[in-house]
Amino acid sequence: MAGDRSATLTPAGYRRRIAQTSAARTLGTARALLIEGPKGCGKTWLAKHFARSEVLLEQNPGALALAQAEPDRVLAGATPRLIDEWQRVPELWSAVRGACDARGEAGQFILTGPAAPSDHLTRHSGALRIQRLKLRTMSLAERGLSAAEVSLAELLQGGTCAAEPTRQGLPEAVDALCRGGWPSLDGDLPIRDVTRALASYLDDVARTDIRQVDGVTRDPVRVRALLRSLARNVGTSATLKKLAAEASGDAPLSRHSVRSYLDALERLHVLEPLPTWPTHLRSRSPLLLSPKHHFTDPSLAVAALRAGPQRLLDDPEALGLLFESLAIKELRIYAQAADAEVFSFTDAAGAEADAIVDGGDGRWLAVECKLGGADQIEAAARSLLAVARKVDESRMGPAAKLVVITAADGYAYDRPDGVSVVPIFTLGP
């Protein structure tokens, strides 16, 4: 049933998402699909593209009341059946599991909601019952800003890197960074309106959303302060102690409290830390294991800092970290389509790559992200070559590619030393 497109609820104006290929594959094998991602990233519209019936618990008080009284009754309908905001009635999880077992067919339900459900609630999902799919905000390719001539999947296969110059460079990258990939904000809105909308988004997170994750009341002022601290430290492995010190204000904030706040923000998909690559090294220099802090969309970091394009252009150091975060988000979207994962890499001796894309079968590539300029690209290439020398190729295999992603306009090309230079507006899945 999941493959029948004749009677779906696809909204007018729906824009194709890269993740929909993965969604279709999951609905063809698993009995239910759980789409996770930040509020406002397009989860419901993606689900409607596949659904043949729906129950919208946030918009329909009657359906919500029925689900609370008799969860099984809201599961009746043509399949795949979308259950939007299912977390408003946690009992629906068990009801869906039971229906999946009783029916024994793939593609029965699509669940969507703004926060990751607790492990306590979902630990009994069972193989091939409910599978998860992460949907992020739109990539540059999905927004029509990237020509997508350089395929990440092909780079993972060691393919040649080549693309004609783009007409977009640093100013356009900064604009894209500030706007983010939010479907409802995509278009010609003045940048001030976009920033104001994202500031309101973060205010909702601080005042109400974070409490709904686990029922714990947290001080909105502290949450906002922590978000600002995280924005200042995006792309770094800032310690809990540092984050606590920056967010404490007039009263101390414990590291335990910061950890609790971070966990809640991750479950809300406001944050998406970048874990360390589990690799083998030739040297005895240990890997640094702390994940790097990233927002699920770096535009939220910009909003937390109350910054705009000109302020970022006047602060190249902060802009460089935020551009790195934008590139990480792009890589995560394209890597997911290639069944790959994205990690960070730093060892105690100073070798570092902003990202490692691991295909899981011996294919991997290392990435450095730079705003542009010959000197920055040269330094990034040296760093990547040093990382490649550190990795034990007998266990991990050689790098398929070493890639410098840049905000500058120009060609995508392979250097004589084998390092590829990829303007971000040429990258795609």
> Which residues of 305-400 form beta strands (DSSP E)?
341-346, 352-358, 364-370
- Mean per-residue pLDDT for 108-137? 79
Residue 320: partners with Cβ closer than 8 Å, 6 or more residues away = 369, 370, 371
At residue 174, what is the residue type?
V
CA distance 269 to 271: 5
* Average pLDDT over all residues of the chain: 92
- Mean per-residue pLDDT for 50-61? 95
**Residue-wise DSSP of 45-103:** HHHHHH-SEEEETTT-HHHHHHHHH-GGGGG-SSSSEEEETGGGSTHHHHHHHHHHHHH
Helix, strand or coil for residue 157?
coil
CA trace torsion 267, 271, 272, 275 (10° rounding): -100
Give the pLDDT band (50/70/90) at residue 1. Answer: very low
Look at residue 118 and tell me whether its pLDDT is greater than 80: no
> What was the pLDDT predicted at 73?
95
Look at residue 355 and tell me whether its pLDDT is greater than 90: yes
> What was the pLDDT predicted at 2?
45
Mind listing the pLDDT tens digit for each residue in 15-26? 999 999 999 999
**Residue-wise DSSP of 265-310:** HHHTTSB--BPBP---BSSSPPBP-PPBP-BSSHHHHHHHTT--HH
Look at residue 329 and tell me whether its pLDDT is greater than 90: yes
Instruction: Return the exposure string of 67-77: e unless at least 16 CB atoms fall within 10 Å of the residue's CB, then b.
Output: beeebeebbee
- Mean per-residue pLDDT for 315-325? 97
> What was the pLDDT predicted at 53?
97
Look at residue 117 and tell me whether its pLDDT is greater than 90: no
- Mean per-residue pLDDT for 292-306? 97
> What was the pLDDT predicted at 394?
87
- Mean per-residue pLDDT for 50-54? 97
CA distance 355 to 344: 5
Look at residue 381 and tell me whether its pLDDT is greater than 80: yes
Contact 274, 294 (CB under 8 A): yes
Look at residue 116 and tell me whether its pLDDT is greater than 80: no
Higher per-residue pLDDT: 11 or 217 = 11
Bridging pattern class, strands 109-112 and 401-406: unpaired
> What was the pLDDT predicted at 188?
87
CA distance 12 to 248: 46
Q: Is the backbone peptide bond immediately before 80 cis, with ω within 30 degrees of 0?
A: yes
> What was the pLDDT predicted at 254?
85
Look at residue 4 and tell me whether its pLDDT is greater than 60: no
CA distance 155 to 337: 13
Give the pLDDT band (50/70/90) at residue 253. Answer: confident
At residue 329, what is the residue type?
K
> What was the pLDDT predicted at 395?
87
At residue 364, what is the residue type?
W
Specify the pTM.
0.94
Residue in the block written with tokens 């988000």:
329
Give the pLDDT band (50/70/90) at residue 94. Answer: very high
What single-letter DSSP state applies at residue 163? B
CA distance 41 to 377: 33
Give, rounded to a whole angstrom, the gap between the first and last alpha carbons of the chain.
27
Mind listing the pLDDT tens digit for each residue in 135-177? 999 999 999 999 999 999 999 999 999 999 988 999 999 999 9
- Mean per-residue pLDDT for 4-25? 87
